[in-house]
Structure 1
Amino acid sequence: MLEKAKTAVSYGDEPGLRFVLVLDGHGGCRTMNMSEACSWKPGDGIVWLHFERDHPATAEWINTNGGFDPLVAEALLAEDSRPRVEPVGDGLLIILRGVCAAPPEEAEKNSDEIDLVPLHIWVDEHRLVTLRDSGHYITALRDIRRALDNGKGPRQAGELLALVSDKLVRDLEPVLDDMDEEVDELDELIFKGEASEVRLRLKLLRRRAVQLRRYLAPQRDALNRIEHDDAPWLKERDKLRFREVIDKLMRFIEYLDAIRDRTGILHDDLSTVIGERIARNSNRLAALAALLLPPSVVAGLFGMNVGGIPGVNDTWAFLVIVVLVVVISAGTLWILKRIDWL
């Protein structure tokens, strides 16, 4: 019977609805369609509904069939995405941020398109409702769904919420590792003097670090508030998991601060390298001008259209002038090297 229920509905077949899963309390689940979800009752088991937040069908279900307080429904559908937690009755209104990657069929074409995107959550003792914008793909939810399909998922609402939070934070680690590797690469390029392509990449990396921290800090506060909430469906084991997730997130924030500090140091190093390059080029131009000054003076003097210029009627005069210019230029070059100008 369970296998038949699993194959009855495919993910994303109904407008605005990604999936509906009913936990069986033993780590597994069965799927439902929208009409079945509308007739769901708490006694049927803990249900997890996942929607596309910006789809009209989702707004209709949230406002008419979800049974939410109007303020909760408005918050679930709002575009406000700053991480926060608001207790409402026996439930929690939660907004978190998770890593968004390209869908599997586009992963190779958009392997660099990784960012933090909002996940709106309502959770109480009997159900978990999650909403993310269409076009976003959160791998954390996919992994939990697969675990449930394999009978190794969460068994109750608090455990499911803790697992969602854990997976969201877990997926941050590869992003930070990639950023750290890019910092090392930029450091190597600056060390080798290849600063031409570093400036833009360093600017984008530093901006990304600031943007990530902007969301991770309030997300840490939100998870901390969940841990200390006195909801009866949050078990001690769930709170322990939240504590571990918060510790991991704090380490990631410190890691992100270190990346931001390193980019600041690299920016200073880059400015120093560029300044030294400009000074070196200026010295070369000044040295070239100094070398060309004696020939220019001699050419100017002998090029004046006035009487009395020596050597006008002598055939050897030009050779003498050429030798004189070469000697003066060689002397100028020797002086510039003696004073370390070249």
Structure 2
Amino acid sequence: MNDPVADGLIHAFVIDDAGTINQLASDALDDWRGEQGTLWAHFDRSKPATGRWLRDRSGLDGMVREALLAEDTRPRVTIVGEGAVVILRGVNLNPGAQPDDMISLRMWVDRHRLLSMRFPKLAAVGDVRERLLAGDDLLTSGALLAGLAIAMTDRMAQVMANLRELLDDFEEQTVEGFRPSLLEALGPVRRQVIVLRRYLSPQRDALIQLTESTLTWLTQEDRARLREALDRTTRFVEDLDSLRDRFVYVQEEMMAWQSQQLNTTMYLLSIVSTVFLPLSFLTGVLGMNVAGLPGTEVWWAFGGVVIVMIAMALAEVGVLWWWGLIGRRG
């Protein structure tokens, strides 16, 4: 018997009308027939054997095979006869990965089978598999499809909650004042929001198309669960729009703090320059190495010049204070 992982097949289940679940080995997959029950076969898209099986033994149309094996895909639904190519995206919760690096789940669904493929591992698929083996009512291809859509929104809810919490922290820290590290930390999180929005918006459209499709094997219960996934996805898109606006506001507040600090620094430098410019002029004149400079032969000349410079500096500070430029306003 071939190793299911080595040849691209991760798992294959046949669910009959009585709810009995039988797991198929890879070498038994070709013997499956629709009258045996609903088939759910899940593949690793990165394995060359997956492409060979789809091409040689799946019986799928060439356009369908290309869609399932394409390198870069966006969420969409394409109706082909009594079946559909369904491509959805789920958050990447694998260790060391970023949630916004969303994983594409490509599926072919018809009345009797659901063929799904992913790379890398998608947690939502594992959730549905556990539910199936635990005895949940996932007896048809439509129920499996709806279950996968719901599981992907469940995982997405965790990521959305984390993003909202992060943004709340950013807003609290913004009130306390600007820190360069805060602005640096804001960039990657804002990128997550943008990327998630990029994929969830077409995913919402794909779910709308599924719920409104004329596929006869989708039951009312399946459509109701798909509408639930659609409602959640719509809410996620609206939340991401709100988060994006809030991130812009936080970033603008940080930039305003930074600009204010810069203006304060420039203002202080201007005050210092105003005070020392006349003194620099005086010392420049007295420092010229030419004949005729006063006081060069008088012992108290240096002390006198220092006293004059201190008096000038105090006078300038007094004038600046009187004008309200330092020490007071108004």
Displacement of 1:280 after TM fit?
1.1
| Aligned pair partner of 1:273 in 242, 257, 265 | 257
Aligned to 1:116: 102
| Aligned pair partner of 1:155 in 120, 133, 139 | 139
Aligned to 1:229: 213
Displacement of 1:113 after TM fit?
5.3
Contact 1:166 1:245 in 2 (8 A): yes
Aligned to 1:3: none
Quote the Cα distance in structure 2 between the aligned partners of 1:245 and 1:162: 8
The one-letter code matched in structure 1 to 2:112 is H
Aligned to 1:127: 113
Contact 1:227 1:242 in 2 (8 A): yes
Quote the Cα distance in structure 1 between the aligned partners of 2:318 and 2:137: 80
Name the % identity. 33
Quote the Cα distance in structure 2 between the aligned partners of 1:309 and 1:224: 91
Aligned to 1:308: 292
Give the CA RMSD over aligned residues.
2.1
Displacement of 1:314 after TM fit?
2.0
| Aligned pair partner of 1:198 in 161, 165, 182 | 182
CA-to-aligned-CA distance 1:188-235 (integer Å, 9 cap, x gap): 333222331233333333333222112111111111111111222111
Gaps in structure 2 of 5+ consecutive residues: none
| Aligned pair partner of 2:237 in 250, 253, 256 | 253
Distance 1:296 1:83, change over 3 A: same
Contact 1:98 1:118 in 2 (8 A): yes
SS of 1:100 mapped into structure 2: coil
Aligned pairs for 1:133-144 (under 5 A) are 133=119, 136-144=120-128
SS of 2:102 mapped into structure 1: strand
CA-to-aligned-CA distance 1:22-44 (integer Å, 9 cap, x gap): 22445562321111111111122
CA-to-aligned-CA distance 1:21-73 (integer Å, 9 cap, x gap): 12244556232111111111112211111111232100010011111112211
CA-to-aligned-CA distance 1:266-298 (integer Å, 9 cap, x gap): 222222222212211111111121222232122
Distance 1:27 1:294, change over 3 A: farther
Aligned to 2:86: 94
Displacement of 1:88 after TM fit?
1.1
Aligned to 2:75: 83
Displacement of 1:130 after TM fit?
0.5
| Aligned pair partner of 1:331 in 310, 315, 326 | 315
Contact 1:90 1:231 in 2 (8 A): yes
Quote the Cα distance in structure 2 between the aligned partners of 1:161 and 1:26: 19
Contact 1:97 1:116 in 2 (8 A): yes
Quote the Cα distance in structure 2 between the aligned partners of 1:294 and 1:249: 68
Gaps in structure 1 of 5+ consecutive residues: 1-7
Aligned to 1:67: 59
Contact 2:211 2:223 in 1 (8 A): yes
Contact 2:74 2:88 in 1 (8 A): yes
SS of 1:115 mapped into structure 2: coil
